Amino acid sequence: MDAASRGVDDLLRGVVGLVEAAFPRRVRAYYLTGSYADATAVEASDLDLTVVFRGRFLAGEAARFRELRVHCQALCPVELGLHPTSEELLPQDDVLHLTTVARLVHGEDVRGGLTVPDVAEYTRLVTRAPARFLAELRGLPRVVFPLAYPDAAGEFYGYDRDGTTKELVLATMWAATCLVALEAGQYVARKGDAPGQYRRHVGDAWTPFVEEVYGRCRTAWRYRIPAAAADRRALRDLCGRTLAFENHYLAAYRAYLLAHLRQERDDGRLFAAERLAQVVYPDAEVQSGLRAARPGARDGALGQATERALREIKAVRRSG
């Protein structure tokens, strides 16, 4: 075992120890995920750990875990991604990654009963992530289409917010992963698989861009902001094109959600309405689709979800 591996193992033991002390006998399993799990990590990679609580979360546990996460990060020399879930929620989590890439580092392996969802359910699950990430990148509570740059005046348009190119890579690979699901009905298990899967199953005009972002930012520059003037110009060009790719993805997601709104099944319409409160498309067609999907009784789950989405659209249109 080399020094780097020992260092990661020591960090994991420390984090597990802190979680165990804060939540005695409440955690069933700890899984190392991301690039450290598949041995592709570079210096700037996050150390990602999924923490599976027994049964379901008890009152106050999620808030206490968020507080603990802040303390763990303060003690950790690398960026730490601590993702809490529970046995109850695990089937709705990133099952594909957990069953194909993740590595158990402590506790009991609970993956035996998990099955990879069919591609329709996988698409519903995986398309939740980009909206959350794109909103956080911009410091916003939700995504509003069309997006603007995180920082239009910045050298790299705000995609270097943390001083690395990680957020640029994540934004691009998440969008690429979801487009592979939306347009080709295919799975992507790892971030590093996204460029190849995109070329194989989508193969549109954006393919060279997706490959270049990963090849330059992740592989060549290892997430670092390059120092050479020519490389900085190349990075600025990539960042300049990223916004159009994000909006290209969101336009495809809009069509996907509208198709769900027009389904006869209530669960499809409910899913779309819930997502349209988080990813706001303030246009007349989406408003009309929500109103058409709304049932006569507005106090049920579907009625409440459509009303919430319509309120979000109204708020955006009023503020814009």
The pLDDT of residue 6: 64
Is residue 82 situated within a structural domain? yes
The pLDDT of residue 296: 66
Single residue among 233, 261, 289 that ends a domain in this structure: 261
Residue segments in the chain with a per-residue pLDDT below the cut of 50: 1-4
The pLDDT of residue 1: 40
pTM above 0.85, yes or no: yes
Which residue's entry shows tokens 């929500």? 290
Cβ count within 10 A of residue 169:
23
The pLDDT of residue 243: 97
The pLDDT of residue 5: 57
Q: What is the pLDDT of residues 79-102, one digit of tens each?
A: 898 999 999 988 877 788 888 889
- Spatial separation of the C-alpha atoms in residues 73 and 82, rounded to whole Å: 9
The pLDDT of residue 123: 94
How many structural domains are present in the chain? 2
Q: What is the pLDDT of residues 247-288, one digit of tens each?
A: 999 999 999 999 999 988 889 999 999 999 999 999 999 999
Q: Which domain range does residue 179 map to?
A: 120-261
Residues 105 and 126 in one domain: no
Residues 105 and 176 in one domain: no
H helix intervals, the chain: 3-22, 61-75, 95-100, 119-126, 128-137, 166-184, 194-201, 207-212, 229-261, 266-276, 284-293, 301-319
CATH number at residue 21: 3.30.460.10
